């Protein structure tokens, strides 16, 4: 073996080199291969504005693990990467960049602004994908896509036109979520609800024609009063039966509004009277439709009051609120103000409070597509892991509204709808602006200025990236995809939209499994965020400890759907494990250099220990494969970790050392063959989780092989089936652990050797211990081992340890130098006597008890209890020794 492992494991020295090797060899690239089964994962496209954070690191590590596992199993694996154009985020970034240069977006116009966006994308858009490479992502970068590239854009246009032609896309004025800062509509899924301290303002609305009679309403948004077109009461509320149909004087205006009866009103809540503002509340909008109420919008797009607001026109919405409340108070119409904590909708991007507003927008009818998506999960075509997330999926589909898909942005897919300037006819067509209006023949047409919701295009990601709507070989071979890996916070945003879009356009589900993971939280369990300043940069972790250590940390204890906490100590533990694997591998390779290793399994030379470890790694392969197939990645890696650290390094390598160091042992070659074979299989099982270190060790161990990435995944084999031998060694391990326990409890130094007697009447057990006697010298500090059926010849003072199949005895005199131990314990007894006297003296002193801090007094009491317990043990031990 010409190549050697470096003395110390240094991830910095090897990770970039190995990643480049994989790229150069084309190992990540997938081709249409009829001789192999395909396995496909679509990478959730990170925002083109994005930078790698812990959520990305976890999500992509999990995908990479599955891809590497399936490649080794012999699948043709496509892991499709790409980025999302992230309409709002990118537009904000580019607008701010231009502002810093003194350029106004509106002044330069749409086309020029889009040129800047494309330049920005070219310069910064690939950043996150280069960062994903640092964690070892084995995505097919040759197939990298972008949601606004030519192919994806064609797919978006095709879907829009198909849905429009089917009557499922329409333009209408409905209540939407409006962000006054970004000045665009946003979807329900982009509204975050935050608990905020606010108020209920109770206001009297005078009843027209009945001097001194009022209807009291309570509102959290008094400024919307100017858009009220009715007050509603419950038809069964006897308190208000007589005023239904009467008119009220709307305060601060010269308008009158009716009192209407509607079952929407909860008569138990508040005053039982509800102001109805159809243009600024989704529930009021529905009430308004039922009662043919006028819809009065009182806000400008920037959140200021519009010209319908009289003296308040031009004021910011909150400024107007303050002024109106003051005016209501002056008029004697403000009854009271009550503190109230309520959920306020904010835009998840800019954190601005969202305004429900009526706007003409483009919508998708959802009823039929939602029903199809619901059925796909119920009949098992789409499976959630863990299953509990299927309830959230179904609940969202059952309560879905028509989807507002238009955005008042420039960066994005522009809506392919063209309005005739002369007759107003709207034409939706593929391939750009038509030459003339199909209705009146006019050549004066204007394209709709709006762009599509980013989620409209990313909903097509599983098939638009494979060449759809064209019937490509890739689409036929790799679609539907196998599994989607995503966080639970994105189910509504994306997963549901992909399912209904795929079913509608391709008549197939986009993926069979949805593997949901939790969030990576900080060590205190808090969500990582910029505002808290508790985010941890994965690249910083990689720089310090290596990508493998980060990946192992993210997968240790990971369970589908559950959040995990990030601790630096766990990263250090992962790095320690990498060092353990590295050093054990170096030790094995150094020994492989010194002797001839059989090329085939030397069955007749295998010892009990060899058969035990082969049997262990055999079972491990099956168990880990089963866990991986069930997406139990955290359980799988824990089993591999425990096997390598404990069974292989701490037990087997120690068991075989005497054979390795012997020049005459006939089984030395078998030990070396077993070491090399088991290490190779263990590295393969570890590879998906820690790709870099396993690649470096494996290729050094097997210089004739190109890469562990394309090595075959270990499978259980009859050749390694040694169940009886495995059971025998497990019994001896138990005996060794018992002996170690005795020695530890008696403070016996490791260098002190002692005889071991194994007493059992079972002939088979006797035979096992005779065959394995050699282990006890290395592993249990035994000078010699006697296996017998009874206690004959064993000293009465021998220390014993019982295991299920036998009793172990060790002569006391061989463990302890009697005179030295009595002297040591006597000295310890004297020390403890002084400490107990000192402690009792302090605790008996009233000055100390009364004046010292309570924590110090408590600490002294704990010290005394500890000394007394130690004294009891020392005196008991002295009595035993003196006998």
Q: For residue 274, which phi and psi values (nearest 5 degrees)?
A: -125, 125
List CB contacts of 691: < 8 A, sequence separation 6 or more: 18, 64, 68, 136, 138, 548, 551, 708, 709
What SS3 string covers 329-354?
Answer: HHCCCEEEEEEEEEEEEEECCCCCEC
Q: Find out whether 703 and 717 touch, Cβ atoms under 8 Å.
A: no
Nearest to 12 by CA among 692, 703, 707: 692
Interatomic CA distance for residues 127 and 50, integer angstroms: 8
Q: For the beta carbon of residue 868, count every other beta carbon within 10 angstroms.
A: 14
Q: Find out whether 25 and 706 touch, Cβ atoms under 8 Å.
A: yes
For 526, counting Cβ atoms within 10 Å of its Cβ (0-12 exposed, 13-18 middle, 19+ buried), the class is: exposed
As beta bridge partners, residue 338 has 200
| β pairing state of 230-233 and 273-276 | antiparallel
Q: Is 600 annotated as a binding residue?
A: no
Q: Find out whether 588 and 697 touch, Cβ atoms under 8 Å.
A: no
Interatomic CA distance for residues 21 and 638, integer angstroms: 28
Whole-angstrom CA distances from 134 to 16, 131, 145, 540 are 8, 5, 19, 11
Interatomic CA distance for residues 251 and 325, integer angstroms: 11
Whole-angstrom CA distances from 49 to 128, 141, 179, 571 are 8, 18, 20, 28
Interatomic CA distance for residues 206 and 222, integer angstroms: 16
Chain centroid offset of residue 627 CA: 18
HSE (CB half, 13 Å, CA atoms) of 668? Answer: 16
| β pairing state of 799-803 and 38-42 | unpaired
Q: For the beta carbon of residue 529, count every other beta carbon within 10 angstroms.
A: 10
As beta bridge partners, residue 33 has none
Annotated binding site: 530
Annotated binding site for ATP: 530
């Amino acid at each position: 073996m010409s190549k050697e492992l470096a003395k110390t494991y240094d991830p910095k020295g090897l990770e970039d080199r190995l990643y480049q090797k994989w790229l150069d060899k084309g190992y990540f690239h997938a081709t249409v291969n009829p001789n192999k089964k395909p396995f496909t994962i679509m990478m959730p496209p990170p925002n083109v504005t994005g930078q790698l954070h812990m959520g990305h690191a976890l999500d992509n590590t999990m995908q990479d693990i599955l891809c590497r596992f399936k490649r080794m199993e012999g699948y043709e694996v496509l892991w499709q990467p790409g980025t999302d154009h992230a309409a709002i985020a990118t537009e904000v970034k580019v607008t701010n960049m231009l502002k810093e240069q003194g350029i106004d977006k509106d002044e330069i116009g749409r086309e020029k602004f889009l040129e800047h966006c494309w330049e920005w994308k070219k310069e910064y858009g690939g950043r996150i994908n280069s960062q994903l490479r640092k964690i070892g992502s084995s995505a097919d970068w040759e197939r990298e896509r972008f949601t606004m590239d030519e192919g994806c854009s064609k797919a978006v246009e095709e879907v829009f036109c198909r849905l429009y032609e089917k009557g499922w896309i329409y333009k209408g004025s409905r209540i939407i979520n409006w962000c006054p800062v970004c000045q665009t509509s946003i979807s329900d899924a982009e509204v975050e609800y935050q608990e905020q301290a606010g108020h209920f303002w109770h206001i009297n609305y005078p009843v027209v024609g009945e001097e001194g009679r009022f209807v009291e309403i309570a509102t959290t948004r008094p400024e919307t009063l100017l858009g009220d077109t009715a007050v509603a009461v419950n038809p069964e509320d006897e308190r208000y039966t007589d005023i239904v149909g009467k008119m009220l004087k709307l305060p601060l205006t010269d308008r009158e509004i009716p009192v209407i009866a509607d079952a929407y009103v909860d008569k138990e809540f508040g005053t039982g009277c509800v102001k109805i503002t159809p243009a600024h509340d989704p529930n009021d909008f529905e009430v308004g439709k039922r009662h043919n109420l006028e819809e009065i919008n009182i806000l400008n797009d920037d959140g200021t009051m519009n010209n319908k607001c009289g003296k308040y026109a031009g004021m910011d919405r909150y400024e107007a609120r303050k002024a109106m409340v003051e005016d209501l108070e002056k008029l004697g119409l403000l009854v009271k103000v009550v503190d109230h904590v309520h959920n306020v909708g904010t835009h998840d991007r800019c954190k601005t409070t969202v305004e429900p507003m009526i706007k003409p927008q483009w919508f998708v009818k959802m009823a039929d597509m939602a029903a199809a998506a619901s059925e796909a999960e119920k009949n098992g075509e789409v499976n959630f892991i863990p299953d509990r997330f299927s309830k959230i999926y179904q609940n969202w589909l059952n309560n879905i509204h028509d989807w507002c898909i238009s955005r008042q942005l420039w960066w994005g897919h522009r809506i392919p709808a063209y309005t005739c300037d002369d007759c107003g006819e709207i034409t939706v067509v593929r391939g750009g602006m038509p030459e003339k209006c199909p209705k009146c023949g006019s050549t004066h047409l204007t394209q709709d200025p709006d762009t599509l919701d980013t989620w409209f295009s990313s909903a097509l990601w599983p098939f638009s990236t494979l060449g759809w709507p064209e019937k490509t070989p890739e689409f036929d071979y790799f679609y539907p995809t196998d599994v989607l890996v995503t966080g639970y916070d994105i189910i509504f945003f994306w997963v549901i939209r992909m399912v209904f879009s795929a079913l509608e356009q391709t008549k197939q589900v986009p993926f069979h499994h949805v593997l949901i993971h939790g969030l990576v939280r900080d060590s205190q369990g808090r969500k990582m965020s910029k505002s808290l300043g508790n985010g941890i940069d994965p690249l910083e972790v990689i720089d310090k400890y290596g990508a493998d250590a980060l990946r192992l940390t993210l997968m240790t204890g990971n369970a589908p759907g559950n959040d995990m906490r990030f601790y630096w100590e766990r990263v250090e533990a992962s790095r320690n494990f990498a060092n353990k694997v590295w050093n054990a591998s170096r030790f094995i390779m150094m020994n492989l250099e010194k002797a001839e290793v059989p090329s085939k399994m030397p069955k007749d030379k295998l010892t009990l220990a060899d058969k035990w470890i082969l049997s262990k790694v055999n079972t491990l392969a099956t168990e880990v494969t089963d866990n991986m197939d069930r997406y139990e990645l955290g359980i799988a890696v824990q089993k591999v970790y425990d096997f390598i650290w404990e069974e292989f390094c701490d037990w087997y390598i120690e068991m075989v050392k005497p054979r390795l160091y012997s020049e005459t042992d006939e089984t030395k070659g078998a030990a070396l063959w077993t070491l090399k074979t088991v290490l190779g299989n263990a590295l393969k099982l570890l590879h998906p989780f820690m790709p870099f270190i396993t690649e470096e060790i494996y290729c050094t161990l097997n210089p004739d092989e190109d890469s562990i990435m394309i090595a075959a995944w270990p499978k259980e084999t009859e050749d390694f089936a040694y169940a009886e031998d495995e059971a025998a060694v497990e019994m001896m391990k138990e005996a060794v652990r018992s002996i170690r326990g005795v020695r530890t409890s008696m403070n016996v130094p490791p260098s002190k050797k002692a005889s071991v007697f194994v007493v059992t009447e079972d002939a088979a057990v006797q035979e096992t211990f005779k065959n394995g006697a050699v282990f006890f010298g290395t592993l249990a500090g035994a000078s010699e081992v006697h296996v017998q059926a009874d206690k004959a010849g064993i000293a009465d003072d021998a220390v014993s340890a019982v295991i299920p199949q036998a009793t172990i005895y060790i002569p006391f005199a061989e463990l302890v130098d009697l005179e030295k131990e009595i002297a040591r314990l006597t000295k310890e007894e004297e020390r403890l006597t002084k400490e107990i006297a000192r402690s009792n003296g302090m605790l008996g002193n009233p000055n100390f008890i009364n004046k010292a801090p309570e924590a110090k007094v408590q600490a002294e009491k704990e010290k005394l209890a500890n000394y007394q317990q130690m004294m009891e043990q020392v005196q008991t031990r002295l009595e035993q020794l003196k006998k």
